[in-house]
Each structure stands twice: as C-alpha cells, then as structure tokens.
A = this chain, B = another copy of it.
Amino acid sequence: MREFDWIARYFRPLTLGYESALNLQDDAALISVPDGQQLVITTDTLIEGVHFLVDTAPADIARKALAVNLSDLAAMGAAPYAYSLALSIPKNTTDEWIKSYSDALHAMQNMYGCFLLGGDSIASPAGISITITAYGLVNHGAALTRSAGVAGDALYVTGTIGDGFLGLHALENHHAAPELIARYLYPHARIAIAQQLAPNIHACMDISDGLMQDLGHICAASDVGAAIGLHDVPLSDAAHDYIHQHRIPLTSLCSGGDDYELLFSAPSHARIPNAIDGVAITKIGELTSDKIMRVFDENNQLIVLDKKGYQHF
C-alpha cells in the first residue's frame, strides 16, 4: 500500500488544506470559479529521455514539470490557481525519490501561489512520465491568446533567447556552462510580467518549441506575417560566450526549444517597458500583413532558416 502512504505523507500536504482537493480522498476535485472570472486549463507531459535526461534529480523533474505548465498559464495572462498531477514512476521508486520530488513541488507552489488539486499515480513499466494539468484564473474576457496579433504590431520577447537550448547542449556534451544549464533545468514562468503587460498587448504565447516555430503559431493564429531582426534577438552574455566558443550558429538559438520566455505583440504606439522585475523586454521585429515570416541579418539582408524549431514527430 505504498501508493496510499505516499499520498498521505508526501502529497496531501501539497493541497495546503484547500477544500477543493477534498483531502485527495475522492474520485475527483471540486472547484468554484469566482464570479467574473474564467478558468484557464493547460496540460503538458514530460517524459524521461525526451523532455529531461535519464537520471535527472527528482527535484529538477518536479520543478520543470510544474514550470512549463505555469509558463502556459503566464502566456494566457492567468494567475496560477491549482494543478493536477499524474505521476508514472517505476515500481522500485524509493521513498527518498518521492520526498525529494514532492518537496520541490512544495517549494514551487510557494513561489507561484498554487496548490495540488488531485491526480493519479501509476507504476510505470518503462521510465518516468509526468502529466501536469494546471489551472489559472483570468478576468472574464481578459485572457491573452495567440490570435490577437494585428499587422503593424511590434513584436517583443522577455528575457534572453537560446539559453535553455544551449544548456541542454552543454549537459549533453559535458561542457561547463552553469548559467545556461540552470536556465535549461529551471525555467521561470513569467506570470507577473504577463499580468502587468496584459492590458497593453495583443497576441501572446510562451516560447517552448523555438522562437521561429512559435512565432509561426502566432502568425497562423492571427493570420499575419512577421519580420524580425536576427541581431535584435536578445542573448545572455553566457550564450554569447558559449556560441562563440563552440561555433554554434546564431540562427540555431532561434530554432532551439526550452526558452519559456514570452513572445508577444503590441500596438506600435503602446508603451512597453524595457524591463519588468529585472527581466529585459526587447523589441525584435513586427507583424506584417503579407503572411510571410522573414528574418533579416544586421545588414538588413533576408536570411533563410533551414529548421524552424523543435519537432515532436
């Protein structure tokens, strides 16, 4: 009966006593959405060997699994509320693993203000797989979407691009790059930044599959094109050093995944701050009416990209 012991000892505390979770002892959870608000729902699965390397520490898996879902809530301009957890783990998983995993979830909950609503635990015959469904709240009609872009909008990103991709590259090639590896392992969900920006922006999404591919999603959903300046894409100092040292083309940073920064458009007259909470906000281009995506180099010459982003199949 380890499953029920684990639930009682490690997971029930993550409900923070919220009545919605029904003490994790029912068939389902039960939530009331406040009047005038809507519920934002997102689901992401992380699989060992696909989304994180084999033998990743349980705390790192927990942080990433929750962060990528919270990042989707951020993209919609929502405030985190709660999450469900479906945890598939091998039969020989130890108590220590579960403790470390749940402790990290607890710390993440505290940082982002949410609680565990319910879930499922499964003895997996093949590796670790985690599906989190996260729930957020927005005022009715205020959710940000990918389809709200307008030709002529300025295009922005938060933070820096490519760090997560390079962090994974460093891990896989045993290069020392602690800042980049940390960015790969511990993505931040730009919740507060999105909420502060929301009243003044149009389309918004989080960059998870690579800047170019995800920009393509905004263009498709908004029925517009885009023009971006490759040298306007903001890089961290660590990324600059790393791509120089390892001769990695700048374009690959725009097609690598794992950024978890916001990509958004705003009317050209909107006053968008240069930074919020110490995170830079950088204009990288604009949306265009011709439905074509173009990337320009520093000499304003058109660049052809061969690979648009991370492809799942």
Q: Which residues of A does B touch, CB under 8 Å? A: 1-3, 6, 22-23, 25-33, 35, 38-45, 47, 49-50, 72-73, 75-76, 78, 84-86, 88, 91, 117-127, 129, 131, 133, 135-136, 138, 140, 143, 145-147, 205-206, 217, 220-221, 311-313
In the complex formed, the residue of B with least CB distance to A32 is B38
Of the candidates A39, A118, A121, A136, the one having the most CB atoms from chain B within 10 angstroms of its own CB is A39
Of the candidates A27, A42, A120, A121, the one having the most CB atoms from chain B within 10 angstroms of its own CB is A27
Cα-based distance from A121 to B313 in the complex (angstroms): 9
- Residue contact A312 to B122, C-beta cutoff 8 Å: yes
Cα-based distance from A216 to B194 in the complex (angstroms): 46
Residues of chain B with a CB closer than 8 A to A217's CB: 25
Which of B6, B23, B140, B205 interacts with A26 by CB under 8 Å?
Answer: B205
Residues of chain B with a CB closer than 8 A to A84's CB: 41, 43, 133
In the complex formed, the residue of B with least CB distance to A218 is B25
Cα-based distance from A122 to B125 in the complex (angstroms): 17
In the assembled complex, the CB of A207 is this many whole angstroms from the nearest CB of chain B, namely 11
Cα-based distance from A137 to B201 in the complex (angstroms): 33
Residues of chain B with a CB closer than 8 A to A311's CB: 1, 3
Cα-based distance from A234 to B96 in the complex (angstroms): 43
In the complex formed, the residue of B with least CB distance to A33 is B33
What's the number of copies of this chain in the assembled complex?
2
Which of B23, B126, B143 interacts with A127 by CB under 8 Å?
Answer: B126
In the assembled complex, the CB of A146 is this many whole angstroms from the nearest CB of chain B, namely 5
Of the candidates A120, A145, A206, the one having the most CB atoms from chain B within 10 angstroms of its own CB is A120
- Residue contact B41 to A131, C-beta cutoff 8 Å: no
- Residue contact B31 to A312, C-beta cutoff 8 Å: no
Cα-based distance from A162 to B42 in the complex (angstroms): 36
- Residue contact A76 to B26, C-beta cutoff 8 Å: yes
Cα-based distance from A50 to B120 in the complex (angstroms): 14
In the assembled complex, the CB of A210 is this many whole angstroms from the nearest CB of chain B, namely 13
In the assembled complex, the CB of A164 is this many whole angstroms from the nearest CB of chain B, namely 17
- Residue contact A136 to B39, C-beta cutoff 8 Å: no
- Residue contact B28 to A73, C-beta cutoff 8 Å: yes
**Quick one: given A118-B41, A313-B91, are A221 and B133 in contact (CB under 8 Å)?**
no
- 14 more A-B residue pairs beyond the given contacts A41-B117, A43-B118, with a C-beta to C-beta distance below 8 A: A1-B311, A26-B76, A26-B205, A27-B72, A28-B41, A43-B119, A43-B131, A44-B86, A50-B125, A120-B131, A121-B312, A125-B126, A129-B129, A133-B133
Cα-based distance from A136 to B29 in the complex (angstroms): 10
Residues of chain B with a CB closer than 8 A to A41's CB: 28-31, 84, 117-118, 133, 135
Residues of chain B with a CB closer than 8 A to A206's CB: 27
- Residue contact A145 to B22, C-beta cutoff 8 Å: yes
- Residue contact A146 to B27, C-beta cutoff 8 Å: yes
- Residue contact B3 to A140, C-beta cutoff 8 Å: no
- Residue contact A26 to B88, C-beta cutoff 8 Å: no
